[in-house]
Each structure stands twice: as structure tokens, then as C-alpha cells.
Amino acid sequence: MKRIHIVQHVSFESPARIAAWARERGHASATTRVYEQAVFPPVYEMDALVVMGGPMSVHDDERIPWLVAEKRLIAGAVEAGCFVLGVCLGAQLIASVAGARVHRNRFKEVGWFDVEATREGRSHPRFGLPPVFGAFHWHDETFQLPAGAVQLARTEACEQQMFAIGDRVLAMQFHLEMEPAGIDEMVVHAAGDLTEGPFVQAKDQLAAGAGDACRASHRLLDRLLDAWIAGGDT
């Protein structure tokens, strides 16, 4: 059993399948919901840290003071050898803490789009990916690949989609954890992102077939999470 701590930035981007996976595997989990109270536990109280997505930017330190403390938490968790997982904003925060540049992507990417595994992503000994898989996306920022990281995946719209640093740090720009109800919430709370663009889908496209698509994403996510949390055991 691992002690997993989750950082949730907004009510409408929950850990969803990640939380369900933790329960099913018998791990203990706790959540800091920064929109309610931004008090982070010490690193020694966790074995793993999960950092979720959100509409804010890693550059919003002055506007959102708790971001500074969260970055310290992530840096401390990595330094302590904790398992660290970042999703969307969480991936960008890991990249930033690792010294990489986070910046506006050429394209906003919102909707269901195929992800292509890199050669290293297909052959990675722990996080080996299928050549192509579908995933839900909702972002307009991206990151440079951190020093020492291995790029695992890309999309047509965004070159950096997933990376690993060693066996314990995993970052995903896309959302494998999403559930249909969560997509509905995103549409309500972040409707302003649904602007015209080559990689922005309409509301009906986001919902179409979401149940089957989410289930397929969850199967891949479960496998990745099992591999991630076992990263220090072999």
C-alpha cells in the first residue's frame, strides 16, 4: 500500500479514474483542494504525489500565491524519491520545476485526438505505449522537454505530450483519467475555450462516444499507474 497525495486545483478537474484506481488497488489517498484550502502536507507523509490539471498557468505566481508552495512541494517530492504524476497543468508544473520552459502552444487543443507514441515511448521498459491511442485534451500551453527526461508521446497539435524522468516521475499533457460527467463539467466551466481552431472540437464532438472512449483511456491509465507505482520495486 502506498500513501498517495492528490493536489486538485479546481472542482471541475477531479482525479476521477486515478482516485478509483487508488481505491481498487488498496492505496491510501488524501486530497488537497487548493480552491478550498491551500495547505500542503510535508513530503515525508506521502509516498506518491499526483498533481491534477486546471485553467491557471505555471506563470501565475503573483496572481495565485499558493503556486509557489506547490512548486516547492513538487520539487521536494522529486528530490525525496517519491512517485510523482502530473496531468495537464500538473505535467507543466513538473516540467517547470525541472527547469524546462512552459509556454503557449501554437494551437489550442480541446477534444478527442489521437496520441502518437515516440520510439522511446513504444519501447520504454516501464511505460511502454501502444503506437497510437486516443485521449482527451484540454490545454493551450505546453512545455519544453526537461533535461534528463524521455519524451514518450506527441500529437499533431502539440509536440510534447508525455515524458518520464526515471521510473518514478511521469507527466501527461492529456487526460486519461477523464469521465463523461467530467467532460460535461469542463464544457460548463471552461466554455470560453471552445473557440474556433483546427484542434478544437464542438460540444457535440466532445460528448459523442465519450463513454467508450473514457473506458479505453482508463484501461491504458490503469496499466500506466500500475507500472508507475511499482517504479521503485524492481
Average model confidence (pLDDT) across the chain: 96
Q: Where are the alpha helices (DSSP H) in 49-88?
A: 66-79
- Residue 89, SS3? helix
Work out the pLDDT band at 230, boundaries 50, 70, 90.
Answer: confident
Instruction: Tell me the pLDDT tens digit for each residue of 65-114.
Output: 999 999 999 999 999 999 999 999 999 999 999 999 999 999 999 999 99
> Looking at residue 135, what DSSP letter applies?
E
Q: 107: how many CB neighbours lie within 10 A of its CB?
A: 17
Instruction: Tell me the pLDDT tens digit for each residue of 174-202.
Output: 999 999 999 999 999 999 999 999 999 99
8 A C-beta contact, residue 154 and residue 116: yes
Q: What is the C-alpha separation between 49 and 82, in angstroms, rounded?
A: 7
Domains for the chain: give ranges and CATH numbers: 3-229 (3.40.50.880)
Instruction: Tell me the pLDDT tens digit for each residue of 51-66.
Output: 999 999 999 999 999 9
- Report the pLDDT averaged over residues 23-37: 97
pTM score, whole prediction: 0.96
**Strands of the 169-172 sheet, one edge to the other:** 28-33, 3-8, 48-51, 83-87, 169-172, 162-165, 150-154, 102-117, 132-143
